């Protein structure tokens, strides 16, 4: 399933998870796991200004900096913000704090902490690479078991078993729905596409979203919208393309 924005994607994932539980396809026993969700509202330029961060944001550094003393691969949490001086104070995992000008620190990814409820049988996706597990970003798998210590045993879609501690790798999410951006490189026999004509972020409804979403399906792509009568006129650049792809897929089924 593909949806243009993260808010609707999360809602779809939660509803699918609940429906699978009601159907008995996923265990009713839930395990709450702390996950890290990217703050996609921040551009590269935004990350150079302290005022664009929020207290509680979790930062991951892909580059080391001698100036700040932060190493490659380190995580930190924003503790305070001094916007007039453009300074961030962050706390590293070992409890030490650093204060720096974000213009002087490159390679920073920004996340929010969110709790997710997972069950045995759930589909799961990686939202960042796990190099030590040889798992790439957006790889999908199914939860085979959840240990008393919280460790997950997964059966990846390529058939390879993977075991991980989500406290050490919190970049996880349900794997039922994706944004069109995240679906790059993914294919499925059947694709269900959610298009809300009243979506606030109109810039997400464009021809690129249409092409990427529909082309994920090998044999079938279906569009679900809140208002089919206005879908074609809602965006001259987007919806006619969506409709043409849909008809093409109808003919090939």
Q: Give the model confidence (pLDDT) of 174-185 as tens digits.
A: 999 887 666 656
CA gap 66, 209 in Å, rounded = 40
pLDDT of residue 216: 63
pLDDT of residue 142: 97
Higher pLDDT: 243 or 166? It is 166
Q: Using 50, 70 and 90 to split pLDDT, how confident is the model at 138?
A: confident
Lowest mean pLDDT among 61-65, 82-86, 241-245: 241-245
Residue 249, pLDDT above cutoff 50: no
Q: Which two tokens stand for residue 239?
A: 């919806």
CA end-to-end distance (rounded Å), the chain: 18
Question: How much is the average pLDDT of 146-170?
Answer: 94
pLDDT of residue 40: 80
Residue 205, pLDDT above cutoff 90: no
Higher pLDDT: 55 or 182? It is 55
Higher pLDDT: 237 or 80? It is 80
pLDDT of residue 191: 82
Higher pLDDT: 76 or 67? It is 76
pLDDT of residue 250: 42
Q: Using 50, 70 and 90 to split pLDDT, how confident is the model at 48?
A: very high
CA gap 16, 177 in Å, rounded = 9
Q: Are 2 and 178 in contact (CB under 8 A)?
A: yes
Higher pLDDT: 75 or 180? It is 75
How does DSSP assign 133-193, residue by residue?
A: GTB-TT-EEEEEEE-TT--EEEEETTS-EEEE-TTT---EEESS-B-TTTTTT--EEEEEE
Token pair 């995240």 is found at: 182
pLDDT of residue 151: 95
CA gap 102, 187 in Å, rounded = 38
Residue 206, pLDDT above cutoff 50: yes
Domains and CATH numbers, the chain: 1-25+178-253 (3.40.50.300), 26-35+112-174 (2.30.30), 46-109 (2.30.30.30)
Q: Are 41 and 210 in contact (CB under 8 A)?
A: no
Closest CA to 60 of 151, 139, 152, 137: 137
| Size of the chain, expressed as the number of residues it contains | 253
Using CB atoms within 10 Å of the CB of residue 135, give its burial: 0 to 12 exposed, 13 to 18 middle, 19+ buried.
buried
Residue 247, pLDDT above cutoff 60: no
Higher pLDDT: 218 or 123? It is 123
Residue 199, pLDDT above cutoff 90: no
pLDDT of residue 237: 41
Return the HEC string of 33-86: EEEEEECCCCCCCHHHCHHHCCCCCEEEECCCECCCCECCCCEEEEEEEECCCC
Residue 202, pLDDT above cutoff 60: no
């Amino acid at each position: 399933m593909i949806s243009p924005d993260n808010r609707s994607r999360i809602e779809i994932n939660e509803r699918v998870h609940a429906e699978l539980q009601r159907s008995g396809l996923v265990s009713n026993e839930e395990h709450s796991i702390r996950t890290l969700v990217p703050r996609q509202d921040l551009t590269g330029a935004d990350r150079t200004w302290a005022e664009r961060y929020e207290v509680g944001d979790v930062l991951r550094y892909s580059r080391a900096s001698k100036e700040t003393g932060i190493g490659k691969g380190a995580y930190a949490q924003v503790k305070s913000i001094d916007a007039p001086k453009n300074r961030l104070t962050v706390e590293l995992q070992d409890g030490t704090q650093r204060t720096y000008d974000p213009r002087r620190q490159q390679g920073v990814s920004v996340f929010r902490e969110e709790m997710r409820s997972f069950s045995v049988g759930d589909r799961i996706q990686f939202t960042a690479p796990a190099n030590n597990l040889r798992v790439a970003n957006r790889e999908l798998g199914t939860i085979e078991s959840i240990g008393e210590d919280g460790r997950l045993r997964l059966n990846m879609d390529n058939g390879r078993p993977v075991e991980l501690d989500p406290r050490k790798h919190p970049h996880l999410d349900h794997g039922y729905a994706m944004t069109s951006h995240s679906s790059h490189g993914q294919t499925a026999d059947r694709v269900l596409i959610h298009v809300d004509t009243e979506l606030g972020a109109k810039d997400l409804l464009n021809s690129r979203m249409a092409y990427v979403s529909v082309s994920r399906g090998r044999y079938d792509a279906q569009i679900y919208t809140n208002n089919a009568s206005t879908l074609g006129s809602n965006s001259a650049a987007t919806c006619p393309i969506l409709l043409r792809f849909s008809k093409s897929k109808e003919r090939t089924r």
